[in-house]
Amino acid sequence: MAGVTRTVAVYSLGGTIAMTTDPATGGVVPALSAHDLLAAVPGLDGHGIDLRVHDFRRVPGASLTFDDLSELGTEIDKVLDGGDVDGIVITQGTDTIEETAFFLDLRHGHNQPVVVTGAMRNPTMAGPDGPANLYAAVVAAADPQLRGAGVLVVMNDEIHAARHVRKAHTTSPAAFASPGAGPIGRIAEDRVRLASPLPDRFVPLAPAVRDPRVGLYTVSLGDDGTLLEAWSGQCDGLVVAAFGVGHVPQRLVESLERLAVRVPVVLASRIGNGPVLTGTYGFPGSEKDLISRGLIPAGDLGPYQARLLLQALLAQDVARESIAEKFAVFAR
């Protein structure tokens, strides 16, 4: 890319990558600006990439909200509508990277890639990975091969599609994986090396017109349904993270059926790798039984992604009968 000027806009949201030690508590907190982060990355000036830097938020990843991401998405759309930016990089805390990436991907309608990155080791530790991840993210965002790829996560020199990426370890620098799919490519020798075709793209969802509450209920051994009943009347939609391919204890079936009459209830798997089935098992509480009672299968979307898709659909006031159709498209 030397000698070729490409433009990448960088948005910093905070997170581990931007943390330094707080003298008052002795713990690390978000404090570094986007300019600070880029100043710690050697070698970017030799790639012919013009960086436009935006210090958007300084919060831990766990504290990001739908409002934060909606505002960020609007800002990114405005920048990309101008046509003079080749890609976007977002730095944030890794706690919610997979959710940020999927949230933005549902609404991303431009060809320019949006790359989300962060760090597992903060800058006060030996071998912080933030500079290397930011370097790789900028290289990826500027590469024409990734036009049309949607939103991506770049960590540990791997490029993951928002559709598949999961945080798979609490501390390892190699914390991110795409179960069942693998990364779509890697960064090596300062360029993108694709390992598979770019992910399928869908018609982007429209902006929200309301702010629905969507719950996530995880089924566990010995579950008697008491906590499930607590969701009744408290949510506009619910995702059930069920056992295996979509199974729940028989004693939960009637509660789920009653709830599914009132609000959309999506059936996902708590495993996070592999699909919810639709017609294999037939016992009470099986996937076939629950779908016959009105639950919507999530396909191979994990429960976190399924919750974000349901929230996005309800936020648009999508008709209830259309929600299952939308899941069938997005979750295939």
Active site residues: 16
Give the separation between CA 153 and CA 176, rounded to whole angstroms. Answer: 9
- Secondary structure class of 4 (helix, strand, coil): coil
75, 85 contact by CB (below 8 A): no
Give the separation between CA 193 and CA 184, rounded to whole angstroms. Answer: 9
**Residue 246 in tokens:** 């979509």
Rounded to 10 deg, the angle between the 97-107 and 303-315 helix axes is 40
**Residue 274 in tokens:** 């592999």
Secondary structure (DSSP) of 7-76: EEEEEEEESGGGEEE-TTTSSEEE---HHHHHHT-TTGGGTTEEEEEEEEEEE-GGG--HHHHHHHHHHH
Give the separation between CA 108 and CA 95, rounded to whole angstroms. Answer: 22
Measured from the Cβ of residue 250, the count of other Cβ atoms closer than 10 Å reads 12
Give the separation between CA 169 and CA 146, rounded to whole angstroms. Answer: 27
